């Protein structure tokens, strides 16, 4: 093969990991880390574990609910502007994360109420796992524990699903109910408006109403045994004792679902009932005092939250959503390895640009993405192959009567019979004289 004049020597083959921060990628490139943390490909991934839900994020939502109440007469109650502002806040976060959101309107007490429903695209829509929380407060206060806490935990769980690129087997649906405080009005409206077919597609409903009570207990709804077990097992594994919820069966939004025959479950840290000394022994806090002394009153502010309880219950909520929907986690992007060096293509002749792949175990995926950026004055001249580490080649493009310039595209290759790690090459042949160009960059996404 002739060495064409003016051929620029390649810069060293570089790689980056799209899913890792630049700092870690730099450390890997510099050989500072011996063990890599390459995410498994979709094909190889085991059932995914739920992520830890960041308490900071949950608290940030509570601050926003407090700010909304402060700006709207001190509450977020049905029919008041603070309720609508709460809906808009939650909906904005969900829309930005890729959810399909719907506002369901109803009228109660002569005013319009809203349920906010958010569907995560994908999963079996004949097997829906729903999670919900009431978003309205009573009119006497901001309702931060009741029920900013459940609303924020469900929101942050939904956002964690999006961040993880979680692809559950079941279809996930999240709901924020209106007018719960006036008698489960929103959730009842939702359930009553489901056709029997739609209702039968809902495999389960998880309810989160008051999960950051300042003098917290750890209560699990004693309803569907499978759901109950998922929650209880999570707390047991952390060494946190739980009790069955008995402060008011049917007093929250799971009740309409339960009446319609949907399996339900949920978590609760206590309302007006008084903590016993036995409960204070095992959970800490103050015996002889309500779980939430500010229940339905003006002191239910951001100061009325037990952060440990809020953190644990948020994590338990995410764990239940993951466990009960199963599925695998695919990072939004795979690991990316690329060579950004310029390689002049002989006219005519052949050039190869290498990319060295390391840190991946097993074989390449069946949908290996090959991103190609070739600058050329007549792309019909070009034949392009991907060459695997063992030398086997995959034709990406043939020559032909295509007078367009440049090849800037992504090919998908079934490379599942190839070892992922090793040196891959992009081989580019220019089969006709006169028009010429160079490989600007190319990349492999595993």
In whole angstroms, the minimum distance from the beta carbon of 349 to Ca ion comes to: 9
Q: Does 251 bind ligand TRP (CB under 6 A)?
A: yes
Residue 351: alpha-carbon gap to chain centroid: 42
Instruction: Name the residue with the smallest CB distance to Zn ion.
Output: 146
Q: Does 146 bind ligand TRP (CB under 6 A)?
A: yes
Q: Does 347 bind Ca ion (CB under 5 A)?
A: yes
In whole angstroms, the minimum distance from the beta carbon of 105 to ligand TRP comes to: 21
List the structure tokens of 193. 């408006």
Q: Give the burial string for 135-167 (b: 16+ CB within 10 Å, else e).
A: bbbbbebbbbbbbbbbbbbbbbbbbbbbebbbb
In degrees, rounded to 5, the angle at the alpha carbon of residue 140 between the alpha carbons of residues 136 and 143 is: 40
Applying CB under 5 A, among 38, 65, 86, 146 the residue interacting with Zn ion is 146
Give the nearer residue to Ca ion in terms of CB position, either 299 or 431. Answer: 431
In whole angstroms, the minimum distance from the beta carbon of 134 to Zn ion comes to: 7
Q: Residue 147: is the preceding peptide bond cis (ω within 30°)?
A: yes
- Which span sits near ligand TRP by CB under 6 A: 4-12, 19-27, 243-251, 370-378? 243-251
Q: Choose, from 156, 180, 245, 418, the residue flagged as catalytic.
A: 180
- Residue 144's φ and ψ, nearest 5 degrees, are -80, -45
Binding partner of residue 101 among ligand TRP, Zn ion, Ca ion, none, CB cut-off 5 to 8 Å per kind: none
List the structure tokens of 159. 């956002």
Q: Does 430 bind Ca ion (CB under 5 A)?
A: yes
Find the binding residues for ligand TRP in span 166-185 (CB under 6 A): 180-181
Provide the 3-class DSSP secondary structure of residue 259.
helix
Site string for Ca ion, 56-95 (x = CB under 5 A): ----------------------------------------
- Which span sits near ligand TRP by CB under 6 A: 185-193, 198-206, 248-256, 297-305? 248-256
Query: What is d(CA 161, CA 63) in angstroms, rounded to the nearest whole number?
Result: 22
In whole angstroms, the minimum distance from the beta carbon of 430 to Ca ion comes to: 4
In whole angstroms, the minimum distance from the beta carbon of 191 to ligand TRP comes to: 16
In whole angstroms, the minimum distance from the beta carbon of 227 to ligand TRP comes to: 14
Query: What is d(CA 256, CA 187) in angstroms, rounded to the nearest whole number?
Result: 7
Q: Residue 348: is the preceding peptide bond cis (ω within 30°)?
A: yes
Q: Does 203 bind Zn ion (CB under 5 A)?
A: no
- Which span sits near ligand TRP by CB under 6 A: 154-162, 169-177, 244-252, 310-318? 244-252
Torsion sign, CA atoms 224, 227, 229, 232: negative
Question: In 3D, which of 190, 154, 149 has the Cα closest to residue 172?
Answer: 154
> Does 43 participate in catalysis according to the annotation?
no
Binding partner of residue 432 among Zn ion, Ca ion, ligand TRP, none, CB cut-off 5 to 8 Å per kind: Ca ion
Question: In 3D, which of 311, 363, 413 has the Cα closest to residue 55?
Answer: 311
Task: Please answer whether residues 408 and 439 qualify as being in contact, where contact means their C-beta atoms are separated by less than 8 angstroms.
Answer: no
In whole angstroms, the minimum distance from the beta carbon of 129 to Zn ion comes to: 25
- Which span sits near Zn ion by CB under 5 A: 11-19, 145-153, 341-349, 422-430? 145-153
Binding partner of residue 347 among Zn ion, Ca ion, ligand TRP, none, CB cut-off 5 to 8 Å per kind: Ca ion
Task: Please answer whether residues 431 and 346 qualify as being in contact, where contact means their C-beta atoms are separated by less than 8 angstroms.
Answer: no
- Residue 215's φ and ψ, nearest 5 degrees, are -115, 60
Give the nearer residue to Ca ion in terms of CB position, either 238 or 432. Answer: 432
Give the nearer residue to ligand TRP in terms of CB position, either 92 or 272. Answer: 272
Question: In 3D, which of 268, 149, 158 has the Cα closest to residue 218?
Answer: 268
Question: In 3D, which of 119, 114, 67 has the Cα closest to residue 98?
Answer: 119
Query: What is d(CA 419, CA 392) in angstroms, rounded to the nearest whole number?
Result: 11
Residues that bind ligand TRP (CB under 6 A): 146-147, 180-181, 209-210, 245, 247-248, 251-252, 268, 271
| Residues taking part in catalysis | 180
Residues that bind Zn ion (CB under 5 A): 146
């Amino acid at each position: 093969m002739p060495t064409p004049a003016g051929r620029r020597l390649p810069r060293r083959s570089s790689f980056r990991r799209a899913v890792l921060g630049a700092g870690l990628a730099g450390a890997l490139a510099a050989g500072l880390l011996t063990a890599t943390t390459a995410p498994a490909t979709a094909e190889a991934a085991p059932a995914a574990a739920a992520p830890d839900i960041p308490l900071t994020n949950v608290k940030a939502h509570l601050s926003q609910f407090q700010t909304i109440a402060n700006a709207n007469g001190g509450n977020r109650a049905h029919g008041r502007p603070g309720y609508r502002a709460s809906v808009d806040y939650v909906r904005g976060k969900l829309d930005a994360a890729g959810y399909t959101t719907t506002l369901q309107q109803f009228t109660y007490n002569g005013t319009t109420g809203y349920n906010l429903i958010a569907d995560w695209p994908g999963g079996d829509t004949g097997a829906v796992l729903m999670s919900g929380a009431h978003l309205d407060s009573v009119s006497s206060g901001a309702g931060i524990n009741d029920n900013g806490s459940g609303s924020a935990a469900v929101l942050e769980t939904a956002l964690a699903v999006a961040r993880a690129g979680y692809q559950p087997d079941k279809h996930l649906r999240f709901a924020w109910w209106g007018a719960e405080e006036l008698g489960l009005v929103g959730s009842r409206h939702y359930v009553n408006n489901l056709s029997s077919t739609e209702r039968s597609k809902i495999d389960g409903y998880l309810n989160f109403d008051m999960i950051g009570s300042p003098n917290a207990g750890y209560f699990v709804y004693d309803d569907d045994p499978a759901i109950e077990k998922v929650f209880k097992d999570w707390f047991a594994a952390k060494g946190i004792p739980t009790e069955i919820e008995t402060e008011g069966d049917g007093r929250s939004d799971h009740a309409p679902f339960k009446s319609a025959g949907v399996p339900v479950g949920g978590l609760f840290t206590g309302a007006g009932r008084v903590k016993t000394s036995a409960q204070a022994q095992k959970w800490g806090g103050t015996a002889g005092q309500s779980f939430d002394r500010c229940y339905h009153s003006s002191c239910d502010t951001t100061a009325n939250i037990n952060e440990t309880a809020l953190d644990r219950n948020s994590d338990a909520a995410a764990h239940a959503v993951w466990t009960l929907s199963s599925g695998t986690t695919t990072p939004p992007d795979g690991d990316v390895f690329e060579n950004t060096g310029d390689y002049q293509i002989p006219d005519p002749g052949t050039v190869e640009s290498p990319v060295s792949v390391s840190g991946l175990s097993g074989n390449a995926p069946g949908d290996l993405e090959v991103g190609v950026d070739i600058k050329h004055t007549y792309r019909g001249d070009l034949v392009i192959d991907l060459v695997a580490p063992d030398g086997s080649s995959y034709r990406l493009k043939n020559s032909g009567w295509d007078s367009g310039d440049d090849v800037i595209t992504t090919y998908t290759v079934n490379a599942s019979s190839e070892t992922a790690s090793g040196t891959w090459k992009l081989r580019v042949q220019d089969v006709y004289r006169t028009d010429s160009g160079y490989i600007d960059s190319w990349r492999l996404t595993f």
